[in-house]
Chains A and B, each alone.
Chain A
Amino acid sequence: MLTIHCPNCGVTAEETEFHAHGEAHLKRFGPGSSEDEFEGYLFMRKNPKGVHFERWRHQYGCGKWFHVARCTMTLEVFGSYSAQTVEPPQEIIDAIQDRRPDFAAGPAR
Chain B
Amino acid sequence: MSDPVSALKNISDDTGLVTISEIGPIGMITLRGDLSDKALVKAAVAAGGVNLPEQGHCNTQGTQGIAWMSPDELLIICAYADVQDRLADLREKLAGSHALVVNVSDARAVFDIKGDHAREVIAKLAPVDMHPDQFSGTMFRRTRFAQVPAAYWMPDGTSARIVCFRSVAQYMFDLLKTAAMPGSEVRHYA
A residues sitting closer than 8 Å to B (CB atoms) are 8-11, 13-14, 16-17, 60-64
Q: Which 10 A-B pairs have the closest CB atoms?
A: A62-B70, A60-B144, A14-B127, A61-B142, A60-B149, A13-B127, A17-B127, A8-B71, A60-B143, A17-B143
Q: Which residues of B contact A (CB under 8 A)?
A: 55-56, 69-71, 73, 127-128, 141-144, 149
- Given A17-B127, A60-B149, does the pair A9, B70 have CB atoms closer than 8 Å? yes
A57 CB to nearest chain B CB (Å): 12
> Across the interface, do A62 and B141 meet the contact criterion of CB distance under 8 Å?
no
The distance in angstroms between the C-alpha atoms of A63 and B143, with both chains bound, is 10
Q: Is the CB of A63 within 8 A of B141?
A: no
**Are A13 and B70 neighbours in the complex by a CB distance under 8 Å?**
no
Assess the A9–B55 pair: CB atoms within 8 A.
yes
On whether A63 and B56 interact (CB within 8 A), knowing A14-B127, A17-B144, the answer reads: no
Instruction: Report the Cα distance A1→B55, complex, angstroms.
Output: 26
Inside 8 A of A61's CB, which chain B residues have their CB? Answer: 70, 142-143
